[in-house]
Amino acid sequence: MHLRDLVSVSYGNLARTRGRALLTMLGIIIGIASVILMVAIGQAAQNFLLSQVASLGADVVMIANGSGDTKGGPPSPLQKQTLTERDLVQLRRQPWVAAASAYVISTDVATYADQSLYAQIWGATQDELKIFPATVAEGRFLLQDDVDSRSRVAVIGYNVSNKLFPNQDPLGKLVRVNHQNFRVVGVMAHGGTRFFTKLDDIIYIPVSTALDLYNRNRLNFISMKPEGISPQEAIVEARYLLRDLHKIDNPNGDLSKDDFIVRSQEDAAKNAGIIGQILQILLGSVAGISLVVAGIGIMNIMYVTVTERTAEIGLRKAVGARKDHILFQFLVETMTLSVLGGLLGIGIGAGIAWVVTALGLITAQVTLSSILLSFSFAALIGLFFGIYPAYRAANLHPMEALRSE
């Protein structure tokens, strides 16, 4: 029997039972569409993480509380708080530091007249805009005098201005935060997000004032921009300085002995990339389970098909069909179901990804590698789960098969 005849017979059998074939393909379609969509979402999440890290600036070095050997992720809020204003002052005196800013961050209710909203209160310094460039739309930003004198002045974000002062000029007005009045000296332009923080919802006040306002004596973190040296060299220098300031005896540079964390944005980008890859693998694996279930469904359907067509198989073998003819015929049928289901699944998954991207929900990216992987997986599913039914059909004895009629 010629190859063309085998393929023709296989497709003819599928056409006669197209309802069953469509239901059999449904599992593959859903599975492949899920894989395409989940991988696209995972890629979008990874790109978002990397973009948020990049928004901090490639040459920014972050210093946070916690053990220096912490691997990736944000510092735990349970870590011992060790960073002080003195650390900031000493860092700013170093010739290799172009700018440094300390932060005390909280969430509080800000009110003006009968308007109120929850805002992020950021205690910062005048170097904030040197490290993270932004535009002041009205007025000015914080000054060194504001920090030194612990002034109650505030620079408000774009959304804060619109919500507290609709149709008003906020400059010079008094905003009440934690039972204290702050005079608005500046309004920031629309800033979007930076590392998962909505810049438009921030109220900046002097870091020294924030320490007094919330009765603290420790900083949340310090950011700095090196000058004349690389970020990695700045990390080494910062560790030496902070160990001396914190009186840490650590001549061997054992990070586990440090009570602070120093990282560059390059380190953060690597961690974000790893997290994104893990997320893609997890999402793809979850969706892949549905493909295995679909493969089992194909095997069951083909097993039933072999049982129903036992007499046909016996007759064909009686007139000279070989085992490999029967085996190939059933494998062609199984592979056809899988491949067609895979192509439809790829189209549906890519279509859904395009729709959610067009709607602005997420930026889902369907890559060529995910398409090729999904298509290959669909073909392998058909081959793997079709072998047993095809093998069983090929090994039926002609006389026993004919008697089953």
238-256: pLDDT as tens digits = 999 999 999 888 888 788 8
- Let me know: does 274 contact 281? Beta carbons within 8 Å: no
Contact 333, 299 (CB under 8 A): no
- Name the token pair of 362: 């997420």
Separation of alpha carbons 51 and 203, rounded Å: 24
**What is the arithmetic mean of pLDDT over 194-221?**
89
Distance CA 203, CA 124 (A): 10
pLDDT of res. 132 = 87
Is residue 339 over pLDDT 60? yes
Q: Which tokens belong to 126?
A: 């005048």
Q: Please report which confidence band the pLDDT of residue 75 belongs to, taking 50, 70 and 90 as the band edges.
A: very low
E strand or H helix at 377: helix 368-394
Question: Residue 137's beta-bridge partner residues?
Answer: none
Separation in Å, CA 27 to CA 285, 286, 337, 342, 379 = 16, 14, 10, 10, 14
Confidence of residue 201 (pLDDT cuts 50, 70, 90): very high
Helical axes 3-16 vs 323-358, angle rounded to 10°:
60
- Alpha-helix runs per DSSP H in 259-358: 265-308, 310-318, 323-358
**Average pLDDT over the chain, rounded to an integer:** 79
How many helices (H) and strands (E) in the chain? 13, 12
Share of the chain above pLDDT 90, in %: 32
Residues 389 and 330: their CA atoms lie apart, in Å, by: 8
**Parallel, antiparallel or unpaired: strands 115-124 and 260-264:** unpaired
| pLDDT at residue 174 tops 90 | yes
Per-residue pLDDT tens over the stretch 283-329: 667 666 766 776 777 777 766 666 666 666 666 666 666 767 677 77
Q: Which residue has the tokens 């990874």?
A: 46
- The answer on pLDDT for 205 being more than 80 is yes
E strand spans, 60-201: 61-65, 97-112, 115-124, 136-139, 153-156, 174-177, 180-188, 193-194, 197-198
Average pLDDT, integer, range 139-148: 94
The structure's pTM equals 0.62
Residue found under tokens 């900083």: 219
